[in-house]
Amino acid sequence: MTTVAYLYLGAILFVAGALGTVIRANAGGRIIGVELMFAAATLTFAASAVGFRELDGQVAAMVVIVVAIAHAAVGFSLGVGLRGRG
Amino acid sequence: MSLEQVVFALAGAVCIAGAITAATHRDPRVAGAALLITLLSLAVLYAGLAAPAVAAAVILVALFVTAPLVVQLTVPVSRAQTAGGPAVAGAAVLMGTLLLATLAVAIARGEVPVSVSVRPADGYDMAGLRDLLTGRAAAAAGGSVAVLLAAALAARAARRDGSPVP
């Protein structure tokens, strides 16, 4: 399986996430869309790392995962705060 | 058709279907479940890419970050009782800590193969895959998912009854 196939899959994932971020009206849907875009970026970095036979891409993928965790924590806090105001 | 191509075709199809469902479905519970399925299929793809560390990180993120976030965003809450969110989050953090400790012990005992790959250039490590699926770490991960689902159902039932969430 070539690296290009993984890159195409990452592009499809990114488009789906961007679509969800644009068309969804609620905060939860937009957070899910952004998480999809983070997942697409991670897949692209990991596939590029394999394609170029370097480990740098996997390190970058780990960094993207950590940023996604921070984003999810922000979304979690927003959800708790908004529900608290109810 | 090689094993890597089969894995890519299956996981890629599940990944695309899950992503489109997560992005477009109106029910947030269905969208959240689709997001989790997408992340887990991505973990399979990372294993196919010979990137087991990234795959493990994605699985941990899906179980302990995305799953509590989806539960928080999708479990309905009554206006009279809104203090359940932090309780559910605390339970998720406790369960995540327990599973991480279990995984650390399994890794320390050498029960988690870190060289699993299905790429033909690396050679098929079917014994490693079998160990990963039948080992203690897999049982711990499955148990944690079951406990997380039980906690979500309990929180949902408690909120529906109006009683405080433990």
At A2-38, the pLDDT tens digits run 788 889 999 999 999 999 888 887 877 888 888 899 8
Instruction: Say which of A1, A20, A26 has its CB closest to residue B22.
Output: A20
Instruction: Say which of B23, B74, B89 has its CB closest to residue A16.
Output: B23
Q: Which residue of A has its CA nearest to B74?
A: A28
The model carries a pTM of 0.64
Please tell me the distance from the alpha carbon of residue B166 to that of residue B152, in angstroms, as a whole number. 12
Burial of B143 (0-12, 13-18, 19+ CB in 10 A): middle
* Res A57 pLDDT > 70: yes
Please tell me the distance from the alpha carbon of residue A58 to that of residue A62, in angstroms, as a whole number. 6
Give residue for tokens 């509590």: B68
Q: Quick one: three-class SS letters along B15-29?
A: HHHHHHHHHHCCCHH
**pLDDT value of residue A85:** 60
**pLDDT value of residue B19:** 92
Q: Which residue of A has its CA nearest to B67?
A: A72
- Average pLDDT value over all residues in chain B: 71
Number of domains in chain A: 1
Degrees, nearest 5: CA angle B17-B132-A32 = 30
CATH of the domain at A23: 1.10.287.3510
The torsion defined by the Cα of B142, B138, B28 and A35, in degrees rounded to 10, comes to 160
- CB contacts under 8 A, A 45-74 vs B, are 46-47, 49-50, 58, 61-62, 65, 68-69, 72-73
CA distances from B111 to B46, B94, B104, B137 (A): 20, 23, 10, 8
Contact flag B19-A33 (C-beta cutoff 8 Å): no
- CB B8 within 8 Å of CB A1: yes
* Alpha helical stretches, state H, chain B: 3-24, 28-48, 52-61, 67-74, 84-108, 126-134, 136-161
- Average pLDDT value over all residues in chain A: 81
- Tell me what ipTM this predicted complex has: 0.84
Range of the domain at A49: 3-85
